[in-house]
Structure formats: structure tokens, C-alpha cells
Amino acid sequence: MSNVLVKIFGDDDGTEIDHPVWHLYETDGGGPHALCTGEFVGDGESACVFELKEVARGGITCDDCLEILRRHKAVRL
């Protein structure tokens, strides 16, 4: 299993992102988006300028995405 990441260079409103970071790319039924912001990416989804990459492990450089993942990992089942 691998992680799919997205780096957004320009958001749906056309605003350029100053320091783009790698977010976890989510496809949980609502359309593909960045985990932390919910910003939709992809053809027909939004006008974002973005790049995708797939990594075997890690690669997320967004502090907000990492915090969300840490909170989820802390849940005891």
C-alpha cells in the first residue's frame, strides 16, 4: 500500500500558494481533495493547480495533515 499526496500551487479561486506543501490526497466519496483543507483537486473538480505523487511511506509535509493523522492514530479501538 502506498500514500498518494497532493501539492497545491494555486487554489480554486486562483490564489497562488506561497509555500506549497504535500498534503494527504483523500478520495473518501466526496471527490478527491486535500485532507486538511478539503480543497478539491482534479479535472472537473476545481481549477486548482496541483501535482500528485505516490510514495511508499511518509512524504506528507503539511503540519495540519500530520496533526489530523496523529489524532486519528491516538484513537483506541
Residue ranges of the domains in the chain?
3-73
pTM recorded for the entire structure: 0.91
pLDDT of residue 18: 96
pLDDT of residue 23: 98
User: Are the C-beta atoms of residues 25 and 62 closer than 8 Å to each other?
Assistant: no
Where helices occur in 1-77 by DSSP H, the ranges are 63-73
- 49-55: strand order across its sheet: 33-34, 22-26, 3-10, 49-55
Mean pLDDT split into 10-residue runs, the chain, 77 residues: 94 94 91 94 92 96 98 95
pLDDT of residue 44: 87
